[in-house]
Structure 1
Amino acid sequence: MASATSSLLFMLNWATQDSTPTLNFTSFLFVLTSAIALATLQIAHKHN
């Protein structure tokens, strides 16, 4: 889980580096969606 979190932080950091606000926002949404998907998988795995 730690590696997944660090890779998400890396993607978020990379997204915020971009000077284009639209691409920045799209990247942020992508990272947010990935985080939610990972969290959902973690919860589903715990309940299994």
Structure 2
Amino acid sequence: MVPASAGLQISTLGSHGKDFRTSILRMTLMSLLEVSLLHSPSTPPS
């Protein structure tokens, strides 16, 4: 069975899909940047 909230989320993603993808992309890029800054051995200490 599919909960009623799932249908609401699907319709919301349909109408605001671009904003949702943009926010996901932004969060992904920020997390990747954070990981690369934290774990990059070639980064000299400031």
Question: With structure 1 as the length reference, what TM-score do the two structures score?
Answer: 0.55
Write the distance in 2 (CA, Å) between the matches of 1:46 and 1:19.
Answer: 37
Q: 1-side partners of 2:33 and 2:26: how far apart?
A: 10
Pick from 22, 33, 44: which aligns with 1:29?
22
Aligned residue pairs total 31
Higher relative contact order (CA 8 A, sep 6+): 1
Pairwise CA RMSD: 1.9
Match of 1:19 in 2: 14
Identity of counterpart residues, as a percentage?
3
Greater Rg by CA = 2
Where does structure 2 lack aligned partners over 5 or more consecutive residues? 1-8
Larger fraction in helix: 1
Unpaired runs of 5+ residues, structure 1, are: 1-15
